[in-house]
Amino acid sequence: YRTSLWELLVAGFTDVGEDDRQQYYGKRRLQWARFRHRSTGKTAFVANHHGPLPISVGGGCAGSACSLNIMRAIAENAHLTDAIILTGDFNAGRDSSRFKELANRLHHVYTGTAMGGIDHFFSNCAGRAAGHNLGNGGSDHDALSVTLNF
């Protein structure tokens, strides 16, 4: 982030899910931080998540439960006036319970195309958002760019 524009207020992480036994690497976290814009004083809660495997699996700690744990972490750490930005490789397509549960609670802003669309952006700020796929970013995912105006 641009330290000349944003002041870090607080940061943390919490476990929100766990891989299924069939493709187990461990627990999955939500990393988050709150920022204040230096000139406007507006605040943003930004969170990133790398979701449980296998892709789009439900049940246990991988489906809707993971999404509800994400929302609980946001509720416990964001402030009422924060713009909320949630992004990451969710390892879940748009037809998964994980995606649908989040889309019921936050505005879906943008989804990439890699692996059928498992990289997502969500926010509590409706409208005035633009997303772009910048192509291969040097990994098995595309580089994505989203602009939110709040």
Rounded CA gap, 3 and 33, in Å?
13
pLDDT digits (tens, 9 = 90+) for 50-96: 999 999 887 676 789 999 999 999 999 999 999 999 999 999 999 99
103, 101, 108, 114: which is closest to 129 by C-alpha?
108
Rounded CA gap, 25 and 127, in Å?
37
**β-bridge partners, 111:** 120
What is the average pLDDT across 30-47?
A: 98
Confidence (pTM): 0.94
